[in-house]
Amino acid sequence: MLFQSAAYKHHTVSLFYGSSCFLLPSNPRFLRLIDDTHCLLIAQSSHETMEVYMSRIYTLDETLRGAPKKTFHLSKLGQDPLFAVDESRRLLVAYGNCEVE
């Protein structure tokens, strides 16, 4: 079972899966369990970027220490982008509300 708890006072978020516990980045924006073994996490790493991580749940801690799979720039997406996942097509969609110059 997947649980998420937040301690906003200390800016940490913990993810519990079975007997495992992971400290997530301080601002997770999107967290999705995929096919019982994988986790998709999108976290805002700064005021300008969001990072996408995908890994097995039990290796999520190691994956977060490495480079992200994809980086989105908020200057192109806007400050409040929406994310959706289509597992059957293995598709991640990011929708932004930013005007392009």
Counting the structural domains of the chain, the total is 1
* Residue where the block lists tokens 């805002």: 44
User: Is 62 a member of any domain?
Assistant: yes
- pLDDT(88) > 90: no
Whole-number Å distance between alpha carbons of 63 and 49: 18
What is the reported pLDDT for 47? Answer: 81
Domain that holds residue 42: 27-95
pLDDT greater at residue 19 or residue 64: 64
- pLDDT(3) > 50: no
- Spatial contact of 14 and 24, defined as CB atoms under 8 Å apart: yes
Q: pLDDT tens digit string along 5-63?
A: 433 333 445 555 565 666 666 678 888 888 888 888 898 887 888 999 998 888 887 88
Grade residue 70 by pLDDT with cuts at 50, 70 and 90: very high
User: Is 83 a member of any domain?
Assistant: yes
User: Is 91 a member of any domain?
Assistant: yes
- pLDDT(86) > 60: yes
- Average pLDDT of span 52-75: 87
User: Is 90 a member of any domain?
Assistant: yes
- Spatial contact of 16 and 7, defined as CB atoms under 8 Å apart: no
